[in-house]
Structure 1
């Protein structure tokens, strides 16, 4: 890495820390919840602010299968979806990594990383910069809800210099 390179250590994902970028989806007793189906099911309700219908958009439901990147983990691109939100919920029982930066003009100094538990999902608000899904250790599947429809809903930036993720530093 060059002297200009930046290394980021992931921190634990919490709703408060992630609020500038989107929503954390998880089954917690603090979430609005209630019993349905004759008391056999607990519904954890309205966990994310989905934004999918702007400018003629519609919801898409997909499964992404993500391969882990080689270590050391070097990031070379960030992306955003200006016309809609994008929600990821893990279907595999493994932690994963989320790397984000605030909406607006991309600022490489504002990039942060979160280590996400397998019982947590994220919903990136429209315009939030993020790296594509980052499985750790093994191939992992994610249920994804995002926007389909007209318009250019993908912007990418190349990172120069790249950003290195320090996975040894732990999630503090």
Structure 2
């Protein structure tokens, strides 16, 4: 059983844990300069943190897109009703305003299993790169509107599936007092 879930009859309470590369590895990559040695470029005036994540565009039919998203904040606790996935490529989110945000994910599969959901909170400087096919909730900004640079796939094919969370379970996302 997933330790971040608390079962109640016909409902689940999903607890949020800190985002780490190890805990998130099944779902994708954490984008962060922490723990990486920079390359000095531009006559030593710029530190480059190289190859922090890989963009998957699904071969010759796809290409990388760079987008800006503006997300309104959610109030917690909140009920989760659906998840989305990108079957043809990865999708990366990098915060531009140094504000923490919440990431809710479930493993690759044909459906979203409520008991497989995981929730993470970023430190405001971390981004995420979802692997192709990983189920994830839409952006969950906290406290204030937030801006994100998003890198995902453009090209031939429909690259977004949306599905209700399975089994009619009610899943509530909540934060401990220590995380606010």
TM-score, length-normalised on structure 2?
0.88
Output one character per residue of 1:77-99: Cα deviation in whole Å (capped at 9) or x when no partner.
Answer: 10100000000000112111000
Indicate if the aligned counterparts of 2:31 and 2:128 stay in contact, CA closer than 8 A: yes
Q: Give, in angstroms, the shift of residue 72 of structure 1.
A: 2.3
Tell me which of 126, 146, 149 is aligned to 2:152.
Answer: 146
SS at match of 2:43: helix
Runs of 4+ in structure 1 deviating by more than 6 angstroms, as ranges, are: none
Question: What is the CA–CA distance in structure 1 between the aligned matches of 2:68 and 2:170, rounded to whole Å?
Answer: 28
SS of the residue 1:109 aligns to: helix
RMSD: 1.5
Partners of 1:133 and 1:84 lie apart in 2 by 18
Normalised by the size of structure 1, how large is the TM-score? 0.92
Q: Is the 8 A contact 2:75 2:142 kept in 1?
A: no
Question: What is the CA–CA distance in structure 2 between the aligned matches of 1:67 and 1:46, rounded to whole Å?
Answer: 30
Q: Gaps spanning 5+ residues in structure 1: where?
A: none
CA–CA distance in structure 1, aligned partners of residues 135 and 152 of structure 2:
15
Q: Is the 8 A contact 1:10 1:170 kept in 2?
A: no
Could you tell me how far apart the structure 2 residues matched to 1:124 and 1:170 are?
Answer: 27
Q: Does 1:10 align with 2:16?
A: yes
Go from structure 1 to structure 2 and tell me whether the alpha carbon gap of 1:7 and 1:55 turns closer, same or farther (over 3 Å shift): farther
| 8 Å Cα contact 2:10-2:170 kept in structure 1 | no
Mapped pair 1:27 → 2:33: yes
